[in-house]
Amino acid sequence: MTADEGAVLPVTSAQLASFTRQLGAMVEAGVDVIRALRIASRQTGNDRLIDAAEDLGRQLEDGREFHEGALRHRDIFDEFFIQMTLQGEADGTLGSVLRSVADYYEHLPEQSGAPRSGGALAGGGAQTAAPLLETAMTTAGVLALGAAALWATAASRRLPKRWLGPAATLWSGVCLLGGARRLHGMGEAPATAAPPAPLPPPVPASRKTPERQAAETEAVVLSALDEQSEEEALPLAASDLPEPWTPEDD
């Protein structure tokens, strides 16, 4: 087996959307949530998601809530998923909430893993801080050079000592005004037309149509309900039946 064959594939947005939609539909229809987790994850064919769903099911069996189990797999389930399922559990509407989450994931661009945010903001902050630091360092450097030049001039008796203070103050004011002007210019927006509002991310062409999604989800729900009904209708094992009455019992 090659390294590529043994590697666990990441969970894509499309797989996460499909899993969440089918899970929500089964829970709404009355399928046991642990059974629904197993069926919905296997429908995606992603081993990583299957393992996470099985672990989530074990957490539910141990008495934990759904969102608590999802917290153990933050690489797959993002903050939006966790907060929405927490609210759904509190309101008793977990199934419908999961379907709403699936609609959100369905309109995300194709990517691996749970959606993440904040990177663009962090990058923008770094880009803004660098010019500010450069301006502050430039102003301080010019001030230091000017003060040194005035001091040297006074030491060589080319400038009366009584003029050293006013000259240094004047030079400091000029440098600080120059730095402030540059900072003000950096804060002004360029005189260009406002950018158009960003369009919603395009849905990849590889994703299924809503009609096909609905048909597949309905088929999965009906299959899960049939499986659950068959298990509930199984006769009790002999060891589970009450012992027959005998005269000695009296």
Neighbours of 157 (CB within 10 A): 8
Does a structural domain hold residue 174?
Answer: yes
Banded pLDDT at 137 (limits 50, 70, 90): low
Of 90-104, 125-139, 145-159, 164-178, the one with minimum mean pLDDT is 125-139
- Ranges of beta strands (E only) in 21-149 are none
CA 60, CA 80: separation in Å to the nearest integer? Answer: 20
Flag whether 92 is in a domain.
yes
Question: Are both 93 and 142 inside the same structural domain?
Answer: no
Report in angstroms the alpha-carbon separations of 47 from 41, 54, 152.
Answer: 8, 10, 75
**What letter would DSSP give residue 63?**
T
The domain total for the chain is: 2
Global pTM reads 0.55
In a domain, 52, yes or no: yes
In the predicted structure, residue 215 carries a pLDDT above the cut 70: yes
Does the pLDDT value for residue 224 go beyond 80?
A: yes
pLDDT tens across 56-84, in order?
A: 999 999 999 999 999 999 999 999 999 99
Q: Kindly indicate the confidence band of residue 107, based on its pLDDT and cuts at 50, 70 and 90.
A: confident
**pLDDT higher than threshold 80 for residue 134:** no
**At residue 98, does pLDDT exceed 80?**
yes
Q: Does 249 map to a domain?
A: no
